[in-house]
Structure formats: C-alpha cells, structure tokens
Structure 1
Amino acid sequence: MNLFENTLKFNGFPIAEAKRKLSEIQQIPENEFEAYIKNKRAEIVQYHIQNNPFYRKFIETNIADWDAIPVMTKSDLQQPLADRLSKNFSKKSIYISKTSGSSGTPFIFAKDKYCHALTWAKFIDSYASIGIDLSASLQARFYGIPLNFTGYYKERFKDFLGSRYRFPIFDLSTNKLEEILKVFKRKKFDYINGYTSSIVRFARFLSDKNLILNQVCPTLKYCIVTSEMLFEDDKLLMESAFGVPVIDEYGASEFGLIAFADNNGELIVNSEEVFVEILDENNRTVPLGSSGRIIITALYNKAHPMIRYDIGDIGVLSSTSTSKRPILKRLLGRTNDFARLPSGKVVPGLTFYYVTKTIISNDGNIKEFVIEQTKLDTFKIKYVATKELKTHEKLEIQKSITEYLEKDLKITFERFEVLKRSKNGKLKQFVSLVQPGTI
C-alpha cells in the first residue's frame, strides 16, 4: 500500500476493504446489476428510516414504491449537521465537508468512513484505467486554494500526499501563465487536473504562442477537467494545445466521482456507488435521451441520507444506457442557470454562451467570457481579450442572439484584464441577476 492509501488508512478510512468491495461490485454480471441497484436502494432507504430521525421525518411514511420517495433538495439539508446524522455516528466518526456553494445553496454534509473510502477506491480505479497512479503520477493541479493560514497549508500537505503541484487559479493574467509554463518546462508532470475554464485559459495562452505543451513537458499524458462544463470546441483546443487526450470528469463534493469519460469520450456513470435518475419538474422519470434534473442517490452513505437528491444540474442519459453502464450523454448546466425573457420564454443561460461562443472564438482574440443578465431584456458580455471587439463583431453577436432567442434584447459589452472568479476559483459562465417572477 502506498503513502496516499496509507494516509487514508491511518485516518480511519478502510481503503483496502473498499477496493475489494468495488472489485466485487464490478464483477456483478449485467443481467444481475439491475437487481443489485434495486436491493441497494431499498437497503439504504430502510437503514435511514430506522436509524435517522431527520430522514424518518422527511419521508413521513414507509414508502414501498421508489418513485414515490420524495426528492431531497439542498435547502432541505440547510440545518445543523448533528440533527441530520444517523444513530451511532458522531462528528468524530465521520468524514465532514461542505458543498462549493456554486448553486447558491451551500451546506455541510457527512459521509461515513467506509463510504468515503469507496469514493477514493473509485477515483483510484478510474484513474488507473488510463494509466494514472493517484499516489505516484505527478499532477499539475489547476484549482483554488484557501487563503487563510490553516486552510492553505492543509491543502498543500494534501497535495504533497497526493503527488500534486498546485497552480492557484485566482490570477490567470499573461504574466502568471508565463510562470506556469516555466514550471511545466522543469517538472515531469504526468497529467493536468482542474477546473475546465482555467485550463482552457491556459490552452488559449499556449495556442497564441504556437506552443504544444507535451513538447515542452514530454512526460505529459492526459488532461482531466472537472467541475465546469466542457464544450467540444474547448476540448479540441486543449487537445491541440497540450498534445494529449482530454478526459471529462463529473463529480460533486457530496458524492465524489459521479461519471468519468471512457476512451470514446462517453461519460460513464459510477453505477457501483451512486444511482442517477433524470426527472422532470414533476419528479417523474423522463425517457432515456430526454433532458431533466439530475437526481442522485448515494447507495452506501449510512452516516447521512443522500437519497433522491437534486444536485442542481440538468442532463441527459443516453438511450444506450444500461443499469450497469449508464451513459451521461450531455450536461446542460445548472437548474438555476436559466434566462427569463420579456416574451415569457425561459431558456438555459448556456444558450447565450453557445451562440456567442461560435462567433467570438474564431480569431482567438477572446480569451474568456461570461454572460450576465441584468434585466429581463438586458445582457452584459464580460470578456478578456487582446483587443476590443469591433463594432461589426458586436452587431454580429446581437444579430445571432436575435435569431436564436428573440428580438429587442439589449446586449452590452465590457472588456476586462482578468475575469473575477468565485472564492473557490470557478468561473460561472452565465449568471442572472433577475429574480424569479420578475415581470
């Protein structure tokens, strides 16, 4: 057992047992896997009804029909953690963390140590499938970092244990990107991992310099992006600029790894540990291939119920999905990332992003941009660029938005040296400042 896994073991996470359990689940045949899922769903529900007063009150009655079990939202969990723990669990016997708050509804949650060990077992297994050893392969980590003394050095120590070299992403100016490039020239990185938007920014920087990263850093094998949307043209840009394959990862602090892309680029759901459903606004299952809210159940978390939990994302399960191999065909953004228009139309905020992106990314001038809705009919495009957008470019964007959405929308533009990121370093690509119900 390596240093990383020994550290997990030392802290009470039974990683060896979890790895054996994961292997056992993976050996369940396809024709028996649906039964495994149904049994685990029933087991975890009954466990929390019997052992968790919070969940017993939440569910109200012993429901036999899975589809009748109420959906849990983030706001349901915004109460003291001690009130949500199952019997025989205390803060000393669990793993405690908090959500990023990107949905606007942060909260603290818990996992029992066996469940958390399973989370790490799945990460280890998924990375190993592409030849990455989480304990030994050197990671170039594009993430945020706490700025307080304790939090900062705690993360740095975790980076040491996990063989990671962290690039804090709060400053992605050209000078800082030059410094990052110099580190790649002297360190033998095996892979890049981090927030999509930050890594795309680095890829654009390299592209502008006509550099291919694995020619500068020949040991580089993969780039793994997470936490933010991955657009196909951004993926192509990164693969061109880095000279290595780009792997999409979908995860959440509440669950760990939710899906990981295979060699064909398909996001394969972590069916061993979580059950993913796609529901409509009335909490009914939508057909495979249709979009809806992503609802997730943690099949092994006994310390804290995460059952039919609305994670706040919109997605589509492929029509070729099976119980053992669900495929997350598309991630369409967050449920709160919707624009309400004067006509009454409601559209995903990423619609603006897609339409605008196809126009302003052609010449490589625009490095990053976000779209902000300030009024029902008014949108501001904030962008980082080498030079100001020309009048005809702005008119072209306006024309395209009119064509795809509706007439008489006001679009303003503002150029920045650096775009402001959230406290954890993420770049929110669309935000509406219009309150629901505004007319």
Structure 2
Amino acid sequence: MVSLPPPLSRTLYRLQEQALKRPTFAYLGDLEHNQWLAREELESLQLQKLRALLAICLAHCPWHARRIRNSGIDPENLTWEDFRRLPTMTREDASRHGDEMVWREAPGGIYRYNTGGSSGEPLIFYFGRKRQAADAACRIRARRWWGVEPGDREVLLWGAPVELNRTDRLKTLRDRLCNQLLLNAFEMSEARMDAYLDQVEAYQPKVIYGYASSLALLAEHAEKRNRVPHLPQLKVVYATGEPLYPHQKEIIARVFAAPVAREYGARDAGLIALESPAGQLLVNSEWLIVEILDDKGNPVPDGESGEVVITNLASEAQPFIRYRTGDRARRSATPCRQGRGLEVLEEVEGRSTDFIVSPDGTVMHALALIYILREIPGVRRFKIIQQRPTQVEVLIVPEPDLWQDANLDTIRRGLRQRLGQEVAINIDLVGHIPAEKSGKYRYVVSEIQGTPHVETNR
C-alpha cells in the first residue's frame, strides 16, 4: 500500500496547518514545555486563559454574558471561587441557545459541526481555528509520548461515508498525504474485516486509532481466523469514542502485539485526556478545566465517581463553560508518574446511558451485565437494551457450533440476579447486530431518561 516518506508527510502537514492559519505547532511547542510545570503554575495558566474567554463571552456571546453578569463575576479579576459561582450549562442549553453563544466573527472563521447523536439527537455547534489547533496539538503531544510523530503511518478505524462527495474526496486525499489510512467502521462484515487485516499489515502503521468496540471486534475476528497481523513497527493502539472495557483491551493488545491506550474526548467538549505509557489518563490541562461534581454540583473527593463538567479554554467560537457532559469519571489522587503537572483521571466510566437501573432505583455499571453474557459459551456478540427499569431486551448473535438453547434460561437467571426477579427479559437470536449511527458497537444501551446519579459496584 502506497505511503509517503514520513519526513515529507510531516512537512506537508505543517504546510497545511500554515495555509489554514491554524497555530497547531506553536501550541504544540507550548504544550511540550507547559506539561512539566507544577500543578499550581498550570492552574495559574488556566485562570489566565479563563479570564480571556469570559471577556470574549461578555463582548460577543449574549447568553454567556447574561450568566456572567447574573453571577456578579468580574472576568478581569476572576478567582477560582468566582468561577464556581457560574451555573453549569447543559447540552439542552447549547441546543436551545446556540445562536446566542456563537461568536460569528471569531478569528479564522467558524465551522459548523455536530455530535454523533448515538445517545439521542445530534447537537449542532460551532468551533474555530483555535479549537482545531488545540485539539490537534494535544493529540500530537500524546502520540510523542509513545514515539509517534506527525507523518508516521496511521490506520484509523473510524466512521466514514459510503458515498464520497467532493469534500470527502479532498479529505481522503489529505489523509493519504498525511499517511493516514481510513478503514470504515460502519462496514464490519467478516469479508470486510478480512480485507482490513490485509490492508493494516500491508500498510505497517506506527499507530492504530479507532473506536474501542470496533478495534475489539476486528481483534476478535483476527483471532477467530487465526490471522494475527505482523506489525513490528506498531508503537501503540489508541482506543477512543467509548469506554474501553478490560476484556477489549486484553484482546486488542494480544492480537496487535502493542500497548493499548485510551483517548477520552467529546466532539462538543473537546479532547479531554489521553493515556501515557505509565498507564495514566492525563488531562490536557493547558486547554481543559475538568471538574468532577456530584448531583448537587459540588466537587467530589478524589477517587469518587461524579459527572464530568468541562470548560474548554479554546472554545471561543462557541464557548463551552462548565458544560455537563453526562459522562461519569473519577479523578486520581496520584500525580503523573513521569513528573508532568497534568491532572490525572483514575477512570472514565462512561455516559449515563452506559449504566443500568434496576426497579428499586439502584444504578450499576454496564460491566455488571456484560460479564454475565461473556461467561456464556456460544455467545458471539450481544447487545443489551433497557427500555425501562422493568424491561430489558437482549440481542444475541450465537456461535452455531457452541450455542445451546439452555443458555436462554442461564442468561435470564443471571440478569435477574442483578436486576431483580420482576424484570421482563426478552432475548432475540439474530444474525447481525448493526452499529450505532456513530459507528460504535455498544454492548449496553439504556433508554431510560434521567438515569439517577447513584451507583453501586454490585
């Protein structure tokens, strides 16, 4: 498979960023230096950028300006105590009041974007060159932790349109010039995955990047086919877009013979954290303020679960300030083991829709049910959908040679032990489980609105 020499590809990428007036490499230089600042120095840098962002809001974003004035905050003399007086904002706020949030004359122009919509209606929002450059620079820095440079060959297992329009074709050309090979995560048939394994081996990437579920699906297929690709140059596999479960990480690492790292971000909130070779999820603290809050909006102690609330300091085109993501995570009390001042997340547990609620109101992590299905011989793939606390649907793709009808009773017993005996469990044996609209293959989906923010390790 054709690729450019990495130094040439790297040069072309730099020229592209210059032509688009994106300060990606200037930001990268700052990140390489600032990651080694002490935590207090990074917090001072955050506060400086936050003051500038709030000043932009007062001048150009009426909805945010009202929030700031109603809170009695002076951005020029802002303190952290002042900042926490600002009310949080929600996805509904961003959707309903987006026109009053957008700075349409932001330097470099603004660009319309939308979330994947896997948990409901997609959110339409705008970002500018600053946000694009900040995200790119943070990702490049993290790749460098693993010995990967811009222009090194990369395989992306990602959502891609089936029919390419002119813009898509131009992007495909740009990807190839930047030594990026895109494989469509929407098309994961067995024949297509056979072809993907051939393409990956022929391309010999230094990094593979994709949805956690899609990477695990490809790895499972490779092992089933006894078709383990030989990838001696591969430095790291980055899994993103959804929680990376332990069994997924194990099989991806085994099949691709490389470390597996997590990337945590959201299209609206930004690129939040990436895993280092020391196994820690490091926050991009220079550009993101991450709060972990309880149901009443108070910070939770380190190690305790709460909702992730994000302030993106590069989001001047449409500011996301104290934005409730709906994600659940825990902050770590252990600092970066390699000496960086960046904050550390202990675990990202997933969205509220990744949690299951029992009829008595107990909320449990998806893993509580996933492990039940994984223990059943003959279950090739599955998906659990909870419509309401007393009703669960289970889709199963059976393994013909191993499946036994007695498994149906075993699954029902196991699920009722977790959820309660009164829960109705409908099991359908199917030939295929399609991906979500976003291209992800989710194991557990809760359709219950307003899932309570309490949980158990039950």
Q: Tell me, yes or no, whether TM beats 0.5.
A: yes
Q: Tell me, yes or no, if the aligned pair for 1:313 and 1:332 is still in contact at 8 Å.
A: yes
Partner of 2:71: 61
Partner of 1:45: 54
Q: Is 1:123 aligned to residue 150 of structure 2?
A: no
Q: Is 1:339 aligned to residue 356 of structure 2?
A: yes
Partner of 2:242: 228
Q: Secondary structure at the match of 1:149?
A: coil
Aligned pairs (5 A) from 1:192-211:
192-211=208-227
Report the Cα offset of residue 117 of structure 1: 1.3
Partner of 1:139: 154
Partner of 2:312: 298
Q: How many residues are treated as equivalent by the alignment?
A: 429
Q: Secondary structure at the match of 2:222?
A: helix
The 2-side partners of 1:405 and 1:319 are apart by 33
Q: Secondary structure at the match of 1:312?
A: strand
Q: Tell me, yes or no, if the aligned pair for 1:421 and 1:427 is still in contact at 8 Å.
A: yes
Partner of 1:378: 391
Q: Secondary structure at the match of 2:193?
A: helix
Q: Is 1:30 aligned to residue 39 of structure 2?
A: yes
Report the Cα offset of residue 57 of structure 1: 2.4
Partner of 2:379: 366
Q: Tell me, yes or no, if the aligned pair for 1:359 and 1:397 is still in contact at 8 Å.
A: no
Report the Cα offset of residue 229 of structure 1: 1.1
Report the Cα offset of residue 81 of structure 1: 4.9
Amino acid across the alignment from 2:386: Q
Identity value in percent: 26
Gap change, CA 1:418 and 1:153, over 3 Å in 2: farther
Amino acid across the alignment from 1:366: V
TM-score normalised by structure 1 residue count: 0.89
The 2-side partners of 1:423 and 1:153 are apart by 21
Report the more deviating stretch, 265-274 or 112-121.
112-121
Q: Secondary structure at the match of 1:278?
A: strand
Report the Cα offset of residue 195 of structure 1: 0.6
The 1-side partners of 2:119 and 2:335 are apart by 27
Amino acid across the alignment from 1:15: T
Q: Secondary structure at the match of 1:2?
A: helix
Gap change, CA 1:220 and 1:22, over 3 Å in 2: closer
Report the more deviating stretch, 100-109 or 160-169.
100-109
Q: Secondary structure at the match of 2:204?
A: coil
Mark the runs of 5 or more structure 1 residues left unpaired by the alignment.
none
Q: Is 1:245 aligned to residue 259 of structure 2?
A: yes
Q: Tell me, yes or no, if the aligned pair for 1:173 and 1:418 is still in contact at 8 Å.
A: no
RMSD: 2.6
The 2-side partners of 1:304 and 1:435 are apart by 27
Report the Cα offset of residue 287 of structure 1: 0.9
Amino acid across the alignment from 2:392: F
The 2-side partners of 1:210 and 1:147 are apart by 29
The 2-side partners of 1:424 and 1:161 are apart by 26
Report the Cα offset of residue 298 of structure 1: 0.9
Partner of 2:416: 402
Report the Cα offset of residue 148 of structure 1: 4.4
Q: Secondary structure at the match of 1:167?
A: strand
The 2-side partners of 1:108 and 1:41 are apart by 24
Q: Tell me, yes or no, if the aligned pair for 2:269 and 2:325 is still in contact at 8 Å.
A: no
Q: Secondary structure at the match of 2:183?
A: strand
The 2-side partners of 1:101 and 1:155 are apart by 22
Q: Secondary structure at the match of 1:428?
A: coil
The 2-side partners of 1:310 and 1:298 are apart by 12
